[in-house]
Structure 1
Amino acid sequence: MNSAEWISRNVSHWLPSADSLKKLALATAGRGPLASVSEAATVPDEPVPTRVRPTRERLKASLRRGDEVMSPRQLRGILEQLRSIVDNQVSEVEGGRRASQFADWYCQAKPGQRRDCWLLMSEQFAPDPQLVLQAQQQYELALNTADEGRAEMALRLALVSPRARLLQRFAAFENGVRFLVDMRAQLLVQAKSDKRLLALDGELEGLFSTWFEVAFLELRSISWNSPASMLEKLIQYEAVHDIRGWSDLKNRLDSDRRCYGFFHPRLPNEPLIFVEVALLDALPDKIAPLLDESAAAVNIKKASHAIFYSISNTQRGLHGVSFGDSLIKQVVETLKLEFSQLKVFATLSPIPGFRTWLTRHGDEMVGKLDDKARVALEVALGVPALDPKEMLAAADAAQSLDDKSPLRQWLMRCAAFYLADALQDGKPVDPVTRFHLGNGARVEQINWGADFSAKGLKQSYGMMVNYQYDLKRLDTYRAQFASGKMAVSSRVRALRL
């Protein structure tokens, strides 16, 4: 067994010096941090230790305690390596080289070791509290004086953490941005239950919001002639309607379809978000025809409607970084240049949280019925009094409910209430509704039986919704949304309970 093999086999037991990191990097050449982190993301993380000590206590100790993965000696070695990366005495190039070596070790580390690295980054690279306090006091004294601007700048500088500089060094090497995005994807799982990681998560989100600013993104058209590796990513990342294979994908990239994605120069072959568009001559009320591989292509010269039927974010690590609204706006402008006859820009969207929400609020929705509707439901269900649980059980047979069914009508009215009136902190509880209405769209039409697939029935009893982007009223609707008023068409307004 050579030394490189021994190191890889015993990676959890050794203290990573700069030399050993270099050896490990050579041993794993060809894989790199991108492949390793992505593969590891599929492995379940170890549970958060039940007995936790801050890293400052562990660094002073001599023995590990309870469920701690790294010994204090190993932890001190990791901290030394991280500090060497951000050392002010080394150049950006050298700092990036050290970060790359550390990343190679990190990608081979166990989940618990990675979590210890995150804790060190969170707890040991925070702003200096004394400097922050001093700068804050000076700023308060300088308010309304000629020195206010200078004091504000000093406070801003004091709040800049060494953590930000550390992460920027990781971004300096090839695939470094990819490494950080994948690292945050893993971190997000743990940050939900371990508040000690929130500082690192917040730092990453803040940096990503700057690095992935829309001004730095490129809108590209993706077609059947795009590289196979790109097409494979569409199949992999499609999150709304699963792509069943190459023939399905070819149908979605047919002559009457368009697909666009946002790309970043540091992730040149990786769409950050993409949208699938169907060019039609009417507003669609079912998803099946759009996914039918045997359907004839629409004559695009006569198309009047551009329908966004799938929008997929591809990078879990960019959660909280919003560029979907800009994608839609740029796609609309691009489509208008290619097809001047397009008049309507709308979606055919799922209602992912409706069924779960109605299960919790069934009593409330039954309570909103007037006497006539209540009696009609009782007769239709053959019960002396309405029981929300029984009603929802009967709704499992949604496919068999005709257009005169009182139960079907009640479900649609509940859906209208859910989309327009079910709010949390003044915003729709449904994430898709929140996204589109926040971008200036309106709830245009609720479609019964739009998606009777197993997924569609599980999400919303088979219903889908059209959100329409009226280009002349985007700003008006966006302002209404900001004030807590949802933009809803008259036909949906008439349905609301």
Structure 2
Amino acid sequence: MNASGWITRSVSRLRPGSDAAEVKKPAASEAKPKPAPKVAATVGPRPLAERLEATLRRHGEALAPRALRRALTELQAVVDSSVSEVEAGRRAHAVVKWYAGRELDERRDVWLLMSERFAPDLQKVSSARDRHGAAMGTPDEAQAEVHLRRALVSPRARLLQRFAIDPDGMRFLVDLRAELLPHLKGDRRLLPLDAELEHLFSTWFDVAFLDLRRISWDSPASLIEKLIQYEAVHDIKSWADVKNRLDSDRRCYGFFHPRLPNTPLIFVEVALVDHISEGIVPLLDEAAAPVKHDRATTAIFYSISNTQNGLRGVSFGDSLIKRVVEELQKEMPRLKIFATLSPVPGFRGWLAKNAGSLLERLDEKRATELGRVIGSLPPTAERVLAAAEEASALDAKSPVRQLLMNAAAEYLGRATAEGKPVDPVARFHLGNGARVERLNWAGDPSPKGLKQSYGLMVNYLYDLKRLDKHRALLAQGKVAVSGEVDDLFLKG
């Protein structure tokens, strides 16, 4: 066999699914039917430890073993206890620059390295736990606890802390977690890294270290652009729109972190009016005349937006509202009422699942009236939900509209899970001590409002003298509501 033939034969054997029999076919008399090949069991991704020891990259893997080992070495160099903080920051900066040029799958490999290769020393943790258990009730208990706490601190925490030394390190870590979060359900190996980041962020972004700043039309254009970018409740449509939201009868405040000085972590938009607002359209009307300071008695919080997905789980919204209330009271002592005009984002989905059980609670008279309107006796959930699609056309006496108001009251005032409101916005405000004050039909007639809640909006009232009382009620699984909302509950 010549060299060309030998190479062709050898290469064919290296191809997936190749068989030497394909090179040299047996004679017809020798040919026998082959048994059906066994289907290999589906296997998951190759463990990280195995990849680090390997030579070749398998199909579907991002970083080759050699690159993976180099990345691990660079990360270990950052956390090296023998180098100064300045040098560690320099090394971290180099990793950040390299990471910025990686594709998503390659970044996932870096996350795995951080998550798996910088875990606490299990032997030290076990020893410290045993020592602590043995010391309970003795004079050595306090020292044993200190020893256990130190053993539980992972090299991963030290690694992340050293990334934060770099001026761009905090931005890097927040963005890293934002990119990491959607992948947690699909790869539970990443959970330790996420938990470590959330724990560190809860300390680094504690409200004690945040600055409250008013954002006005005189603020830098780059900052106002961020309001447009991050507004999550009522989209800002133009510069005229944002100027209206920063007018003389409006206020906007945000929390800022010293390491992210030009980005509000969360901001709240406030309207200064003379009554509790029942709809968002008048508040966003660019042609409306501003309310004079000496006439404003009510502050309406109509939009609260978190800007950093990477800080999910870090709570500072309640502190923002409290701080803003204090600032407004200092500036305008006439303000006596503090309330929200809030969306009800989960209502439509909840009603789709619970319409049938709500209908069963209607008395015969109401069920008959409703059934006649929707063309079904007895009324069915399917017909009710179909009629609700025309919510904007329903008049005040419509049985369908009345049922939607009843259902919204049930959703906000009684629908709980593990003692907490199921609606995310309600959970936030009620957890801060507010109460459900009033439901507003057609409060948000925009496509988004109709999609979320058939246009319904709600006012949460912050009665500053009863916040603790309302929190105590919620701790018992009870939601504080006004008499007006209480009257909307179904009695059956």
TM-score normalised by the chain length of structure 2: 0.90
User: 1:274/1:50 Cα in 2 relative to 1: closer, same or farther (>3 Å)?
Assistant: farther
Amino acid at match of 2:162: R
- Map 1:40-51 onto structure 2 (within 5 A): 51=44
- d(CA) in 2 for partners of 1:327, 1:383: 49
Q: What is the SS of the residue equivalent to 2:463?
A: coil
Q: Structure 1: state its 5+ residue gaps.
A: 1-48
- d(CA) in 1 for partners of 2:327, 2:316: 16
- Map 1:10-159 onto structure 2 (within 5 A): 51-159=44-152
* 8 Å CA contact 2:57, 2:65 repeated in 1: yes
Shift of 1:468: 0.4
Q: Deviations 1:83-136 (Å, cap 9, x if unpaired)?
A: 011001111110110010010010110100000000000000000000000000
- Mean alpha-carbon deviation: is it higher for 263-272 or for 71-80? 71-80
Q: What is the SS of the residue equivalent to 1:307?
A: strand
- d(CA) in 2 for partners of 1:383, 1:484: 36
- What residue number does 1:263 align with? 256
Aligned with 1:420 (options 413, 416, 421): 413
- d(CA) in 2 for partners of 1:279, 1:192: 43
- What residue number does 2:243 align with? 250
* 8 Å CA contact 2:300, 2:339 repeated in 1: yes
Aligned with 1:195 (options 180, 185, 188): 188
Is 1:353 aligned to residue 346 of structure 2?
yes
- d(CA) in 2 for partners of 1:153, 1:428: 39
* 8 Å CA contact 1:347, 1:466 repeated in 2: yes
- Map 1:251-400 onto structure 2 (within 5 A): 251-400=244-393
- What residue number does 2:10 align with? none
- d(CA) in 1 for partners of 2:366, 2:60: 59
* 8 Å CA contact 1:51, 1:67 repeated in 2: no
- d(CA) in 1 for partners of 2:58, 2:116: 19
Amino acid at match of 1:398: A
- What residue number does 1:474 align with? 467
Amino acid at match of 1:121: M
* 8 Å CA contact 2:368, 2:377 repeated in 1: no
- d(CA) in 2 for partners of 1:62, 1:360: 54
Q: What is the SS of the residue equivalent to 1:258?
A: strand
- What residue number does 2:174 align with? 181
* 8 Å CA contact 1:51, 1:66 repeated in 2: no
Amino acid at match of 1:254: D
- What residue number does 2:163 align with? 170
- d(CA) in 2 for partners of 1:135, 1:357: 48
Shift of 1:65: 2.7
Aligned with 1:446 (options 436, 439, 442): 439
Aligned with 2:480 (options 476, 487, 497): 487
Q: Structure 2: state its 5+ residue gaps.
A: 1-41
Is 1:437 aligned to residue 430 of structure 2?
yes
* 8 Å CA contact 1:353, 1:430 repeated in 2: yes
Q: Deviations 1:332-387 (Å, cap 9, x if unpaired)?
A: 00000011011100000000010011112221221222222111101222322211
Shift of 1:50: 7.5
- d(CA) in 2 for partners of 1:210, 1:237: 24
* 8 Å CA contact 2:213, 2:253 repeated in 1: yes
- What residue number does 1:219 align with? 212
- d(CA) in 1 for partners of 2:118, 2:153: 10
* Identity in percent: 62
Amino acid at match of 1:336: Q
Q: What is the SS of the residue equivalent to 1:279?
A: strand
Q: Deviations 1:226-250 (Å, cap 9, x if unpaired)?
A: 0101100000000000000100001
* 8 Å CA contact 1:63, 1:71 repeated in 2: yes
* 8 Å CA contact 2:272, 2:298 repeated in 1: yes
CA RMSD of aligned residues (A): 1.1
User: 1:50/1:209 Cα in 2 relative to 1: closer, same or farther (>3 Å)?
Assistant: farther
- d(CA) in 2 for partners of 1:199, 1:372: 57
Alignment coverage as a number of residue pairs: 449
Q: Deviations 1:245-278 (Å, cap 9, x if unpaired)?
A: 1000010011100000000110111100000000
- What residue number does 1:5 align with? none
* 8 Å CA contact 1:127, 1:160 repeated in 2: yes
- d(CA) in 2 for partners of 1:479, 1:54: 48
- What residue number does 2:203 align with? 210
Shift of 1:53: 2.5
Amino acid at match of 1:338: E
Shift of 1:197: 0.6
User: 1:50/1:240 Cα in 2 relative to 1: closer, same or farther (>3 Å)?
Assistant: farther
- d(CA) in 2 for partners of 1:50, 1:66: 13
- What residue number does 2:15 align with? none
Amino acid at match of 2:483: S
* 8 Å CA contact 2:228, 2:236 repeated in 1: yes
TM-score normalised by the chain length of structure 1: 0.89
Shift of 1:66: 3.6
User: 1:50/1:297 Cα in 2 relative to 1: closer, same or farther (>3 Å)?
Assistant: farther
- d(CA) in 1 for partners of 2:362, 2:163: 59
- d(CA) in 1 for partners of 2:141, 2:46: 41
* 8 Å CA contact 1:50, 1:67 repeated in 2: no
Q: Deviations 1:159-179 (Å, cap 9, x if unpaired)?
A: 000000000111001111011
Q: Deviations 1:431-469 (Å, cap 9, x if unpaired)?
A: 000000000000000000111110010000000000000
- What residue number does 1:42 align with? none
- Mean alpha-carbon deviation: is it higher for 383-392 or for 162-171? 383-392
Shift of 1:72: 1.7
